[in-house]
Structure formats: structure tokens, C-alpha cells
Amino acid sequence: MISFSLTGPGESSKLRIGKPAECGDSGPEDAQTGGMQMMLRLNHFLSLALVLWVGSALAQSPHVLNTFDGTDEGWEQGFGTIQNINYDENGRLTWETDGSGGAIRDNFNNLNAIFQPQAGGVDLTGLSAVEFVNVMYTGDDPTINVEFFMQCGVGYTYKGSSALIGHDVQFVSGVPQSITVPLSVLLPTEIAWVTSWGINIRAHTAQAQWSLEEVRSLGPSLTERYIARFTPESPDNGFQSVFVNFNGDAIQGNGNVQSQAGLSINPAAGVDGALEFVSLGGITSGGNGIGGALSIGNGAGKFSEVPNDYYSRPTDISNYQFIDWMCRATGPEGESIGAALFIQSGGYNYQNLGGQPVNLPADGQWHKLTGELTGLNFVDNVERIGINFYGHPTDLTIQVDHIRGHNDQPTDVQNWSLY
């Protein structure tokens, strides 16, 4: 399943969306060879336009991942020998190979990257491909073979393009090619955590000078995503990285420590299991009633095991207008609990979602608590999605079946009747 499309030079439009942020870490690497489909787009000066692959220009959230405009964005030698990594005045990453071959790649931390900088990897769920724009070399070798690759997940699993298609991509000296590597052959868990992407240059004979103009993800993107379902099979023992973020005094068994203490997964609750905790009534702080605040990161947080947050990464929710928390409260008749939905984004900036005030009656029924993302900042670089419950008089058992991003306009009927 290899497709080639030949187009003229300079046809690629720029998609630039980026926000400042911080967060991230680095770790070990791995170099297992896996497989991957690949399509090639060859930018030849004389070619016919034969477009078998069309990136969606109207998709909500494909991003430029690297521009190399004034920085090498921390790209580094992965293995083998890569020399003189730099950037040029035309906004291209530049490097050399001495003939022995080697791999150059993002350094796992999105250093100074235009999209989710310092993120320690990106979640490309819902997108279709990663494109390496205008890769080129000049040198005495008439051709040099290249493999494109990604590294994924906690093990930094190496997924090279050549194993699947049966051969490398052949470059001709002085001829740029833009290479599109589809994400569809990665596992969903790998797409959700692409830690690095790079170029593996096979051995050749003479010194060669290389350049790369840009790396980007291609759409279309999702219009709906279940950010968490809290099933027993969900990552992080079902918790999906949710933790008590603040005001933990109001959550039974938490002890006011940022942790998962006091939270449990109830396999019998909700559609497929639900998060559960007891919100203590009558808790105050500084004279004001408080409830607990929960937050979730992205990707098998293992919060209790890895409190430095290494295993989570930002989420791009810029393609959703709304976030739902599907909740149920059980308690005395007439009781209810209010809440504010929030995100922390672009470097943990705390922002409440807009929309109607959220109130959860303690009637034992499921209710969809919806907040609106419109107008918030850094929604393509979200570290935390959260809910901050308010104080209330008596203890309530609260369950959360799921957290969902979507674009459906909220209806008047918020009750979620599945039983």
C-alpha cells in the first residue's frame, strides 16, 4: 500500500498554530524495528500533478510540529553518526553525514518546538499522518537511501517505515522530497504518545549535506473524543491519571494530598465502570465551604507511581467546543452539589470553562455537566482537565462515568438516562 503523488514545488501551505508552555522530561530510548505504511510525495520540478494523497486543509487541528525557524528545536543524533546539526537562514534544519549513516531526530522533549514545546511527546490521536517537508541532500553520492521513523510510548518503540513497505526511500542528490508517514499502522496507544520522529540515513560513501524544512501532522482530526471512561480496563488501573488536585480535605480518605487516595473505580457503575468517591459535606476552608477538585492528564498517568508527571503529556482539545463530565450524585433528597469545570493549559494556566453554571442534584441519576471551551487560551496544549466541586451540607457519593470532548450543542435535556 504505497502511494506516490507528484506535485510541483512549494505547493504545501503552512499550518502554524503554536503556544508557549512548559512541562516534560526525557528518558531512555529503544530501537526495535517495527513496520509502517508510508506514502511518498515527491516534489519534482517537472512532474505531473498526480495527487493520490490529499492532506485535509480544513481539518481543525493538524499542527506544524517543527519549523526550525531560528532554532534546531533540539534535534539530535539518535544513533550512528550525524554531524554539524544546525539551522539556516531559510528556516531549515541542516546536518551532515559522513557516509557511515545515522539517525537524526527530535530529542523527546519538543525543545523550543512551535507546538506543545517541552512536552515530552505529542498525542496525535485522530490525525492521519506525519509529514517531513522538503527533505534534501547534496553530495557526491548520486542516491542515498533513507528510512523515516517514529518512536512511541513508554518504551520509545522504534517504528520505521521501511520494514512495512519493503524498501527505503531513495533520495537523489539535490532533489527535495516531502514524505508522508501515515499514523494508521501505529497502535492507538502509540499514536497517543509519539515521543520522537526522525530520519534514518543509510550508509553511503561521500560526505553529504542534508536539510529538512518542516515537520507537521496532517488531519482530519476528531470531532469527538472520550478523554476518559474509567473502565476497569482503562490505563492506570482504570484511573486514567485522575487525581485529587486540591481541596482534598473534602474527599473522604484523601488526607488533602495530591494523589489518588480516596478515589476508586466502581466496575458496576455507569456504562462501563465509573470513578467513585465520597464528597464530604460541611467542609470549609477560610470560612468558605469547599468540595474537592479532580484533574486528569493525558495517557496512563500512573500518578501514584510517577508523581513527576513524566507519563502524561498535553492534550490538544482545540477541535472541541465542549467538555462533558458525566456524573451522578447520591445523597439525601433535595441535596445537590455545584461545580466549576476547568482546564490548565499552556503552562498550567488555570481557566474555568464557560457556559451555564453546573449543578449536580443528588438524585441518583446521571447528569451531563457541560462546559464550553470557546474563548479559553492554549486549548491545543492542555495539561489538565478538571472539575472543582463546591461545598455542600452532607456527604454525597459521586461517580463519574466519562469525560468527553465534542461539538454537539447542549440540549435542554441534560439527564443521561441509560438505566
Angle at 355 between CA 351 and CA 357, to 5 degrees: 95
In this complex, which beta carbon is closest to Ca ion, that of residue 239 or of residue 320? 239
Provide the CB-side half-sphere exposure for 318 (13 A, CA): 23
| Residue 247 found at the interface with Ca ion (CB under 5 A) | no
Q: Binding to Ca ion (CB under 5 A): which residues in 271-300?
A: 272
Point out the residue whose Cβ comes nearest to Ca ion: 91
Least distance to Ca ion from the beta carbon of 226, Å?
8
Of residues 391 and 405, the one with the C-beta less far from Ca ion: 405
Alpha carbon 101 to its chain's center: 31
User: Shortest Cβ distance from residue 212 to Ca ion (Å)?
Assistant: 8
DSSP summary character for residue 375: T
Phi/psi of residue 368, nearest 5 degrees: -90, 115
116 binds Ca ion (CB under 5 A): no
**How many angstroms separate the CA atoms of 288 and 390, rounded?**
10
Q: Does 73 bind Ca ion (CB under 5 A)?
A: no
Strand (E) or helix (H) holding 189: helix 188-191
Q: Please select the residue that binds Ca ion; options are 238, 270, 331, 405, rule is CB under 5 A.
A: 270
Residue 229 found at the interface with Ca ion (CB under 5 A): yes
Looking at beta carbons only, is 68 or 416 nearer to Ca ion? 68
Does the protein bind Ca ion through residue 230 (CB under 5 A)? Answer: yes
Of 80-88, 266-274, 305-313, 314-322, which part binds Ca ion (CB under 5 A)?
266-274
Q: Rank residues 116 and 211 by Cβ distance to Ca ion and give the closer one.
A: 211
Contact call for residue 380 and Ca ion (CB under 5 A): no
Minimum distance from residue 275 beta carbon to Ca ion (Å): 8
The site that binds Ca ion (CB under 5 A) totals a number of residues, namely 11
Q: Binding segment for Ca ion among 39-47, 70-78, 182-190, 402-410 (CB under 5 A)?
A: 402-410
Site for Ca ion in 32-71 (CB under 5 A): 67-68
Calculate the dihedral angle through the C-alpha atoms of 359, 363, 366, 368, rounding to the nearest 10 degrees: -10
Q: Is 416 in the site for Ca ion (CB under 5 A)?
A: no
Q: Which of the ranges 6-14, 115-123, 262-270, 406-414 carries the binding residues for Ca ion, by CB under 5 A?
A: 262-270
Asked if 91 touches Ca ion (CB under 5 A), the answer is: yes
Q: Taking the complex as a whole, how short is the minimal distance between the CB of residue 274 and Ca ion, in angstroms?
A: 5
- Cβ proximity to Ca ion, 39 vs 265, nearer residue: 265
Taking the C-alpha atoms of residue 142 and residue 164, their distance in angstroms, rounded to an integer, is: 25
Distances (CA, A) of 39 to 143, 185, 213, 280: 19, 12, 18, 56
Q: Considering the complex, what minimum distance in angstroms separates the CB of residue 287 from Ca ion? A: 36
* Three-class secondary structure assignment of 307-341: CCCCCCCCECCCCCCEEEEEEEEECCCCCEEEEEE
Closest CA to 337 of 272, 293, 271: 293
Q: Which stretch binds Ca ion (CB under 5 A): 28-36, 50-58, 241-249, 265-273?
A: 265-273
CB 43 within 8 A of CB 134: yes
Question: Considering the complex, what minimum distance in angstroms separates the CB of residue 91 from Ca ion?
Answer: 3
Residue 317 CA to residue 222 CA, distance in Å, equals: 9
By beta-carbon proximity to Ca ion, the closer residue of 3 and 365 is 365
> Residue 76's CB: how many other CB atoms inside 10 A?
18
307: its cell numbers: 508523581
Q: Per CB under 5 A, does 401 bind Ca ion?
A: yes
Host H or E run for residue 363: strand 363-372
Q: Which residue, 384 or 402, is less far from Ca ion as judged by CB? A: 402
Helical (H) or strand (E) element with 149 = strand 143-152
Binding mask 184-223 for Ca ion (x = CB under 5 A): -----------------------------xx---------
Nearest to Ca ion of 222, 326 (CB atom): 326
Give 14 or 174: the residue with its C-beta nearer to Ca ion.
14
Residue ranges of alpha helices (H) inside 121-177 are 162-165
CB of 321 closer than 8 Å to CB of 407: yes
Give me the least distance between CB of 90 and Ca ion, in Å please: 7
Distance CA 232, CA 238 (A): 5
Kindly list the residues in this chain that would bind Ca ion in the complex (CB under 5 A): 67-68, 91, 213-214, 229-230, 270, 272, 401-402
